[in-house]
Amino acid sequence: MSIKSMIFSKVTATMLSERRLLKKRRHAQSIRAKKKARRTIMYFHQVDDPYSHLMIQVLPELKRQHDVHIEPWLVSPTAVSDESSRQFDYFRMDAERLAAKAGLDFQDSGYQPDSESVKRVAAEFQQHIDRGTFIGPAIESSNRLWRGQASEEQVPVNNPSRAIRYDRGDARRAALGHYMGATCFYEGEWYWGLDRLHHLQSRLYQEDSQPVNHIFKPANVPGIHGVELEPPPVIDVFISFRSTFSYIGLLRIKELADEWNAELRLKYVLPMAVRNVSSPRARFIQVLYDCAREARFHSIPFGRIADPAGKPMERGYSLLPWATAHNRCYEFCLSFLKNVWSQGVDAGSDKGLEKIVIEAGLDWREGRTQVGNEQWRAEAEAHQQELLDLGLWGTPSFRLDDTLAWGQDRLWLLEDVLAKKRPSAETL
């Protein structure tokens, strides 16, 4: 391991540690107590984002349960492009499924709201923010937008007194280190959408020493006692060695697959940056913090990082055809991901890669002769084209029959599909 890799690993281990997190929380509480200030949650709303529509529906209950002040900010809509259109097609479908799970309102119309409607509703939102009436009334405005209904107020978007101040929200969010809508910021930490709301609530309840009553908490997976399904269902798993959540997701999907006798078919792709998929600078840091929190929640080691970007990742990928031929593809992928994201092992060195290979139950003397071959590139390109054809782009992504899911947050969707395959009493 190089000196640079060793230092980076130690820095990330400290930066992402629970000890440092709790220290920062205590410091924030101390400052608030000295100022005798009320607990304030900044909420960043993106009008054309379906996840933001779900979030504003739970803000009144969040405020009621925790007696917090919610400070709303508007942020800019997403620029229209082929990439963003493909992403929003998935976001709407996913938001509809999430809304059904959480008991909220959202139906995918099959298209994004037009720009003029977005402007009109954003103007209404801005008026509610200026009047201090955002929580509650904004829900109706958002409902009309997503139902394709005209704004009742027909707010003139060129009215200077009701100008939409996206620039303020964008600047505030960027200064605090994020880039997405549907996000809450509370005393140094970010929480995205319904999927992370339970983390925010757990923190608030802990501060109040109160029993937890989550508005929405993602289902624990596996949460249903499975059966050995025959024939074994096949789950396609798209991963990247530079994706922190591929590590978390691979561990969790294996538990689910074992519960239901499902077969995992692993498909590796290049990272989004290599595929020229746009990604804000703030994304990498926020993903690290978010993944560390999810890892702690699921009792998965994480934080001592040796970033495998570039050659280390390619060296790992070059061994995948060989590992697959020895029926150790899953074991090798997990060993690689675990070592680079939780043990600080430098896959760019022979010593590091040897450790990864041996822990996967493979022979390093044979494996070292395979390092650097180019067979993997054609497979990776085929996998990523398949991913795009499915309407997905990020990792980890999953496919089970006709059900598509992006992210380890959606494993409950796959479990629901598997549960429906359980034989009925009549067929036993």
The answer, yes or no, to whether residue 428 has pLDDT greater than 50, is: no
2 within a domain of the structure (yes/no):
no
What pLDDT sits at residue 366?
98
Once rounded to an integer, what is the mean pLDDT over residues 233-257?
98
Distance, CA of 207 to CA of 189 (rounded, Å): 15
276 within a domain of the structure (yes/no):
yes
Percent of residues, the chain, with pLDDT higher than 70: 93
Examine the domain organization and report whether 32 and 132 are in the same domain: yes
What pLDDT sits at residue 161?
47
**Number of structural domains found in the chain:** 2
pLDDT digits (tens, 9 = 90+) for 7-39: 999 999 999 999 999 999 999 999 999 999 999
User: CA of 304: how far to CAs of 175, 181, 290, in Å?
Assistant: 27, 29, 15
Q: Which of 78, 83, 22, 10 is nearest to 50 (CA)?
A: 78
Examine the domain organization and report whether 173 and 317 are in the same domain: no
The answer, yes or no, to whether residue 157 has pLDDT greater than 80, is: no
Task: Please state which of the ranges 51-65, 139-153, 211-225 shows the lowest mean pLDDT.
Answer: 139-153
88 within a domain of the structure (yes/no):
yes
Distance, CA of 110 to CA of 9 (rounded, Å): 45
Examine the domain organization and report whether 203 and 241 are in the same domain: no
pLDDT digits (tens, 9 = 90+) for 246-294: 999 999 999 999 999 999 999 999 986 554 555 566 788 999 999 999 9
The answer, yes or no, to whether residue 178 has pLDDT greater than 80, is: yes
Examine the domain organization and report whether 173 and 308 are in the same domain: no
pLDDT digits (tens, 9 = 90+) for 36-86: 999 999 999 999 999 999 999 999 999 999 999 999 999 999 987 878 888
Terminal CA-CA length for the chain: 56
pLDDT tier, 222 (very low <50, low <70, confident <90, very high otherwise): confident
Examine the domain organization and report whether 65 and 191 are in the same domain: yes
Examine the domain organization and report whether 31 and 127 are in the same domain: yes
CATH number of the domain that residue 99 is part of:
3.40.30.10
pLDDT digits (tens, 9 = 90+) for 352-398: 999 999 999 999 999 999 999 999 999 999 999 999 999 999 999 99
Domain boundary among 146, 173, 208: 208
What pLDDT sits at residue 266?
98
Examine the domain organization and report whether 96 and 196 are in the same domain: yes
Examine the domain organization and report whether 97 and 152 are in the same domain: yes
**CB distance 247 to 240 below 8 Å:** no
- Could you tell me which residue, 1 or 126, shows the higher pLDDT? 126
Element (DSSP H or E) covering residue 264: strand 263-268
Examine the domain organization and report whether 139 and 238 are in the same domain: no
Question: Sign of dihedral through CA atoms 358, 363, 365, 368?
Answer: negative
Examine the domain organization and report whether 185 and 284 are in the same domain: no
363 within a domain of the structure (yes/no):
yes
Residue 302 sits in which domain range?
234-420
User: CA of 331: how far to CAs of 7, 346, 423, in Å?
Assistant: 28, 18, 31
